[in-house]
Structure 1
Amino acid sequence: MTTESDSAIEAASDTLIALSHSIHAEPELAFGEHRSAAKIVEVLRDTGFEVRTGVADLPTAFDARYGSGELVLAFCAEYDALPGIGHACGHNIIAAAAVGAGIGLAALADELGVTVRVIGTPAEETGGGKVLMLERGEFDGVGAALMVHPGPFDITGATSLALADIAVSYVGREAHASAAPEYGRNAADAATVAQVAIGLMRQHLIPGQQIHGIVSDGGAAPNIVPGHSEMLYYLRATTAGLLDDLRERAGHCFEAGALAAGCTHSIRTVSPTYTELTPDPWLVQAYREEIIGLGRAPLPVEEEGFRPLGSTDMGNVTNVLPGIHPVIGLDSGGAVTHQEAFAAACITESADRALLDGARALTATAARVAVDPGQRARLLEGAGRR
């Protein structure tokens, strides 16, 4: 059955590789991926998809559809980059693989009785584009959502951590740091005390909890007592419940900084909370068999849980409907995601193979679930409830 889809992906391979490289060459940050989204939409329209842009009130989100079958299967495309280091998370590969999978499954749409969707989801690195699109109904009626993410090796049942993305602001009082320091209340000191408290708390974190951050505003000049400071922090945990626990404990550390320095403080949410990935077991196993058939050697199943993939808003999707977020391996020369060397590796021959293999494996997985009577009924029933 997949011969026709493989042929479609092979015929589009030059276009898909060119798309990946073009997105990589012009990295754009969260909610500002205008050129990247336009490039993807152009390819999809050229291959027969009907595309709506600016969906869910997000200018760089889109929804591309092909076919009219009752079972709706979606491939998620990401295309935002990281500040300073560009596509060091390989979202150019994610986008091109999603387009390739869409093209591959479209070749089988009538035969399988499916509607194929490629959903353009901006702002994964920060901003939670998928969370917003879920809340605004863009995933309604979808039976399953699939995507692949590049990494140094193949992981089929990839997991992730729940994430809270916050900004902590302190307000004190400016004063001359030499002539009248007693009149000041140092907001940068508040941030320092909070960081020390967090550092001490780390020893007592529950396994799976993480906290890390930066000082984004520490003052304007050495001779001015800082009247304002800000820290950006990520709080992570293996489950949403453990994340709530960490949020409460970290909150006490942030409050301690304010109390010690005589400042006030506030905490705001930067991005919607990301929940942990809960990949669908049937889809994971089908995908695993497909990539092994392509000559890949994924991590043993028993090792997968020891390598969580940071955090992703795809976790929110997989907690609402069946989905997978496997890692497709490429030769990164020892580099890992969010390193400049990994960004460079994402336009190599190995990366190009990864995007094509990812597209083939996603297509084959989607085709398998569509023709399995029990699984098809499960997905249709779930989609009907949403």
Structure 2
Amino acid sequence: MITALDDAVRSAADRATGQILALSHDLHAHPEIAWEEVRSCARVAGDLADSGFAVEENFTGLSTAFLARLGTGPLHLAVCAEYDALPGMGHACGHNVIAAISTGAAVALAPYVDDLGITLSVFGTPAEEGGGGKIEILERGGFAGVHAAAMVHPGPVDVARAEPYAVSHSHIQYDGKAAHAAAYPDRGVNAADAFTIAQVAIGLLRQQLPSGVRVHGVMTNGGEAPNAIPQRTEGRWYVRAGTLAELAGLEERVNRCFEAGAHATGCELTITAESKPYAEFRTDEGLLAGYVRRAEELGRRFSSGADSLMNRASTDMGNVSQRIPAIHPYIGIDSLPAVNHQVEFAAAAISPAADRAATDGALALALTLLDAAVDTGTRQRLMATAEGDAR
């Protein structure tokens, strides 16, 4: 029975190859940024609806989220699809490949959900690139009843284990007072100076921060005209640490640097969280071992070292993993020297190697979930841990 289903899922995945690649390339050609993924969301949901899934749009009240579900079995397995792009860089993180992998895995398993005794869900999750769509879905009860969740993320090389930083995303705004920069400089309150002071303070603070900490950001509004004292400046800043607990203390220290800019210049400071903090990842070891075995059967080889550091990137899937058994392996698209968040990586995300990653990832993920369903020990273990229970 297991062998027959294994072969059947492989055949279904093979039949879905054209669908998988068409989806990946279509999303890549029409990139949409966080919370604006209207076309992308509809495109992925439409593929799943055409494959027999019942689709709920505007899932948990989010206009670019969806839930696609098939089957009524007692073991509830889920895959997550991401489809947001980066501002100005398109799919430079390869989320088109993620959506294609998750959709392909679901389509390959769809004919066999009753044989496997599972409920199969695909979560369309917006705004991973700063916005935390999965966190919103999680906290609104969208993952209730799910026993395990999985997804596969592209990178330069294959890496099995996700070890992301916890991260906070903040919008920084200084408000001062405009004045003519030559005639009346003494009547202005310079918001650009406030940002300069804060950035210098952060640069000095880095000397005293643990080696695993990251603090980085950009100014998105630095003023309007060179002959006017800047009245308002704005920026977006990320603070990353090993855990949410470490992040909380670190964020306070960084915020004091921003406060220093306000105190020194007389500007008013406003710090606004752009999303809830992303958590560190908790890997389900059994599911990950299964994925590694299945991926290696397809000829994938896992890497370590400097080229494999994409596994340290923060993800809102970390928050899901704190509640539900989860995995988030990385699949290589042979992009080196290009790496994630470079325009060259966006170009590589529809290369022949990326297409192979999309089809390999879909099959490896489908077979991993198949194994979880048919292995009695894994099935019982997952069903004993409902979403929200202590783990």
Please, what TM-score do these two structures have when normalized by structure 1?
Answer: 0.96
Shift of 1:10: 0.7
Provide the secondary structure at the position in 1 that maps to 2:123.
strand
Alignment check: 8 A CA contact 1:172 1:262 kept:
yes
Report what 2:270 is aligned to: 266
State the partner residue of 1:299: 303
Note if 1:340 corresponds to 2:343. Answer: yes
Asked if 1:13 is matched to 2:14, the reply is no
Q: For the residues of structure 2 that align with 1:210 and 1:382, how far apart are their CA atoms?
A: 33
Q: Which residue of 2 aligns with 1:225?
A: 229
Q: How many residues align?
A: 385
Report the equivalent of 2:364: 361
Distance 1:198 1:265 in 2: 16
Deviation at 1:108, TM superposition (A): 2.4
Shift of 1:385: 5.6
Q: For each residue in 1:334-364, what CA deviation from the matched residue of structure 2 results, as whole angstroms up to 9, or x when unmatched?
A: 2001111111111111111101111111111
Within 1, Cα distance between the matches of 2:66 and 2:388?
24
Provide the C-alpha distance between the structure 2 equivalents of 1:286 and 1:26, rounded to a whole number of angstroms.
Answer: 34
Quote the residue 1:244 is aligned against.
Answer: 248
TM-score (norm 2): 0.95
Regions of 4+ moved over 4 Å: 302-307
TM alignment of 1:114-193, pairs within 5 A: 114-193=118-197
Q: Which 10-residue stretch deviates more, 262-271 or 185-194?
A: 262-271
Alignment match of 1:51 (pick from 52, 55, 78)? 55
- Name the CA distance, whole Å, in 2 between partners of 1:206 and 1:305: 21
Matched to 1:383, the amino acid is A
Tell me which residue corresponds to 1:202: 206
Equivalent position SS for 1:159: coil
SS at match of 1:164: strand
Deviation (angstroms), 1:223 = 1.4
CA distance in 1, matches of 2:306, 2:385: 30
Please point out which of 351, 354, 357 is paired with 1:351: 354
Residues 56-78 of structure 1 show CA distances to partners (whole Å, capped at 9, x for unaligned) of 11111111111110111001000
Distance 1:307 1:214 in 2: 21
Please point out which of 311, 316, 326 is paired with 2:314: 311
Aligned to 1:25: 29
Q: In structure 2, what residue type is equivalent to 1:280?
A: D
The unaligned stretches of length 5 or more in structure 2 are none
Q: Deviations over 1:284-306 (max 9, x none)?
A: 11111111111111025x99996
- For 1:268, give the aligned amino acid: T
Pairwise CA distance, 1:333: 3.8
Structure 1 residue matching 2:182: 3-state secondary structure? coil
RMSD, aligned CA: 1.6
C-alpha distance in 1 between matches for 2:345 and 2:308: 23
Q: CA deviation at 1:158?
A: 1.8
Is this contact kept in 1: 2:157–2:308, CA < 8 A? no
- Is the CA contact (8 Å cut-off) linking 1:69 and 1:114 kept in structure 2? yes
Whole-angstrom CA distance in 2 between matches of 1:65 and 1:9: 18
Residues 310 and 340 in structure 2, CA contact (< 8 A), matched pair in contact too: no
Q: What amino acid is aligned across from residue 315 of structure 1 in structure 2? A: G
Aligned mates of 2:248, 2:210 — CA distance in 1 = 12
- Matched with 2:258 is 254
Counterpart in 1 of 2:323?
320
Which stretch shows the higher mean deviation, 17-26 or 199-208? 199-208
Q: Distance in 2 between matches of 1:385 and 1:125?
A: 25
CA deviations 1:122-150 (Å, max 9, x no partner) are 11102110000001111000010000000
Secondary structure class of the residue paired with 2:274: strand
Contact 1:159 1:307 in 2 (8 A): no
Percent same amino acid at aligned positions?
A: 50
Secondary structure of 1:328's aligned partner: strand
1:107 counterpart = 2:116: no
- The question of whether the paired residues in 1 share the 8 Å contact of 2:12 and 2:107 is answered with yes
Deviations 1:78-125 (A, max 9, x none): 001011110011011100100111012223211210011111001110
